[in-house]
Amino acid sequence: MKAIIFCFSGTGNTKKIAKLWADEFEREGVETTLFDVTGDMQELPDPNDFDKVGFAYPIHAFNAPHIMLDLAKKLVKAKDKKEYFILKSSGEPLKLNNISSYKFSHILRRKGYALSSEYHYVMPYNMIFRHTADFATKMWSAASRLAPIEAREYLGGKIHKLAYIPFGNVIAFIMRIEHPAMRVNGRIFKIDENKCVKCGKCVKACPMQNIKLENGKFTFGGDCLMCARCSFNCPTDAFNIALLNGWRVNGKYDLNYAGEPEKNAHKRYCRRSYAKYFENAQKKIESYREKDEK
């Protein structure tokens, strides 16, 4: 059996989840390809060549990133109503995130693909605000234990659906203003020349090849996804991401933090939603642990 997971990941959260699934598939004897989605879509694998097909992406403004919509449009038509699954990540467990797959799935449905199961994992923000190290570690602990369980469930034929959101298509349509807006916003990024060391990491990291460094000068094109890969990973925090600079988060998280809880200025933010997410994750993890012990 062969599987493929088409994965777009901004700063690495979604790829971590996709790799957990890929590793579990391999342990179950399924040869798995983890395909990185970039702006270059000249040679895409044919999903019809695989027994299991998945798509993984971070949620952008309650939608799939426009690079994933482009991917859906470019894939070949499905044979025999090809089934697929979705893995997606976001910084908060709001049910409204369920609508993020509606447009993506609509495009694939018109090409003969059928959504089988869908999974949502909470991972630390790379935009809006920075989660504390202990809370980020809690997110990763839950996801890293839950993802392998759900990968095995999927291989075993269990269907996993997310709750339908009334008027979700309308809300998603309105929120997709983010796609053209970020193309414009990306053109007016600025670099702090006093901080920048011209390492070129942002140029190499950009999935859309939207950043160029020539003769010591940066230029930005009109294809920005606002994945934050450039600003998040800048070693000197030299980026100004224009209209969203107040939401900028810089630097990798310590996902194995074992120190004292840090002061959390956002402890009331989506408090009930986080509590419910972690409670449900723990129940599922414990139920499978009990089955394994028996």
For the entire predicted model, the pTM comes to 0.95
Is 156 within a domain?
Answer: yes
Q: Do residue 198 and residue 169 come from a single domain?
A: no
Distance of CA 87 to CAs 9, 43, 100, 119, 214, Å? 11, 23, 11, 5, 37
pLDDT score, position 292: 65
pLDDT in tens, 156-185: 999 999 999 999 999 999 999 999 999 999
Integer Cα distance of 33 and 292 in angstroms: 28
Amino acid at 34: L
Integer Cα distance of 86 and 63 in angstroms: 13
* C-alpha Rg value of the chain to the nearest Å: 19
Integer Cα distance of 199 and 82 in angstroms: 44
CATH number of the structural domain spanning residue 207: 3.30.70.20
Q: Do residue 227 and residue 164 come from a single domain?
A: no
Nearby residues of 236 by Cβ (< 8 Å), 6 or more positions away? 195, 196, 197
Domain limits at 169? 2-173+274-293
Q: Do residue 163 and residue 208 come from a single domain?
A: no
Domains: count for the chain: 2
pLDDT score, position 288: 84
DSSP conformational letter for 257: -
- Of the candidates 112, 3, 114, the one whose C-alpha atom is nearest the C-alpha of residue 50 is 3
Instruction: Kindly indicate the confidence band of residue 289, based on its pLDDT and cuts at 50, 70 and 90.
Output: confident
Q: Do residue 60 and residue 162 come from a single domain?
A: yes
In this model, does residue 294 exceed pLDDT 60? no
Q: Do residue 135 and residue 279 come from a single domain?
A: yes
CATH number of the structural domain spanning residue 73: 3.40.50.360
Q: Do residue 135 and residue 45 come from a single domain?
A: yes
Residue 114, helix vs strand vs coil: strand
pLDDT in tens, 27-81: 999 999 999 999 999 899 999 999 999 999 999 999 999 999 999 999 999 998 9
- Could you tell me if 220 and 183 are in contact, meaning their C-beta atoms sit under 8 angstroms apart? no
Q: Do residue 143 and residue 235 come from a single domain?
A: no
Q: Any idea which residue has 């609509």 for tokens? A: 106
In this model, does residue 291 exceed pLDDT 80? no
Neighbours of 178 (CB within 10 A): 18
Q: Which two tokens stand for residue 146?
A: 């839950």
Is 264 within a domain?
Answer: no
Neighbours of 249 (CB within 10 A): 18
Integer Cα distance of 218 and 216 in angstroms: 7
Q: Do residue 59 and residue 192 come from a single domain?
A: no
Amino acid at 107: I
Alpha helices, DSSP H only, in the chain? 13-27, 66-74, 102-110, 133-155, 168-175, 178-187, 201-205, 229-232, 271-293
Instruction: Kindly indicate the confidence band of residue 130, based on its pLDDT and cuts at 50, 70 and 90.
Output: very high
